[in-house]
Amino acid sequence: MNIKSAEFVMSNSDVAKCPKDRLPEYAFIGRSNVGKSSLINMLTSRKSLAKTSGRPGKTQLINHFLINKDWYLVDLPGYGYAKVSKSTKKVFQKFITKYFEEREQMICAFVLVDIRHEPQPIDLEFMQYLGEGGIPFCVIFTKADKLKPKAIDKHVEDYKNIMLETWESMPQHFITSSSKDIGKDEVLGFIGELNDGMEKSI
Ligand code: GTP
Ligand code: MG
């Protein structure tokens, strides 16, 4: 898919104030610093459309970016970083869960996980939360430039094995690197197919 235009529309923490035009949207969620904002910049080929930082906690609000005047990419704040409390559930900010529960035009959430780390309880818990709510999601592995191909395969395999303990199958997943432009066509192609599918079903 070709990205012809990408524009920032609004930031807010109130789901009720998000755009009301009912265009389809795709949300990026995951731990702080996993690379959500960087991925949005990579997908849109705009270096600083979404604000990124080496320090976790940069994105604090729900950010809507209008793509090709036709659909949105949504950059969300990260959930729990490092010192999470024992009950990780508490660290999912209220307005984030509200976003997923109320935003009917959210077609698919992309849950980002850092490919370098073994599966983290908080990510599995968030996917569990989405699954229980019937909220569609995919997994995006980030920072693939940091590992060699063999290690990538192993980490994905480990992830699959853990997920298959709870899920019937591994959700659709993508391997990406924002710094090396890996996975762009796959993610955009997937979004394009979903958009096309929706047009046909209208
Ligand atoms: P919050 O907004 O704080 O939740 O973080 P975020 O998930 O939006 O992460 P962000 O995109 O701001 O990136 C965090 C850090 O990771 C930055 O220093 C990025 O440069 C770096 N980073 C992001 N993606 C990649 C990648 O694919 N490869 C490498 N090597 N670094 C990356
Ligand atoms: Mg961010």
From ligand 1's centre to the CA of 154, what distance in Å? Answer: 22
Tell me which residues of the chain have a pLDDT lower than 70.
Answer: 81-91, 200-202
Phi, psi angles (nearest 5°) of residue 27: -110, 145
| Total structural domains within the chain | 1
Which tokens belong to 70? 């036709």
Q: Is residue 197 part of a domain?
A: yes
What confidence tens digit (pLDDT) does each residue in 74-120 have? 999 998 754 445 554 455 788 899 999 999 999 999 999 999 999 99
Percentages helix, strand, coil for the chain (3-state, rounded to 5) are 35, 25, 40
CA distances from 113 to 24, 52, 143 (A): 23, 16, 9
Chain centre distance of CA 22: 19
From ligand 1's centre to the CA of 179, what distance in Å? Answer: 9
Which tokens belong to 41? 């910049």
pLDDT for 58: 85
CA distances from 58 to 71, 184, 198 (A): 24, 23, 33
pTM: 0.94
Domain harbouring 131, CATH code? 3.40.50.300
pLDDT for 200: 67
The response to whether residue 53 sits with its C-beta less than 6 Å from ligand 1 reads yes
Q: Is residue 38 part of a domain?
A: yes
- Helix, strand, or coil here: 9? strand
Q: Enumerate residues 6+ apart whose C-beta is below 8 A from 18.
A: 10, 12, 62, 64, 99, 103
Q: Which domain holds residue 50?
A: 6-201
pLDDT for 41: 98
Total Cβ atoms within 10 A of residue 74: 23
Q: Is residue 1 part of a domain?
A: no
**Residue to mutate (ligand 1; options 178, 180, 181; most atoms within 8 A of CB):** 178
Q: Is residue 139 part of a domain?
A: yes
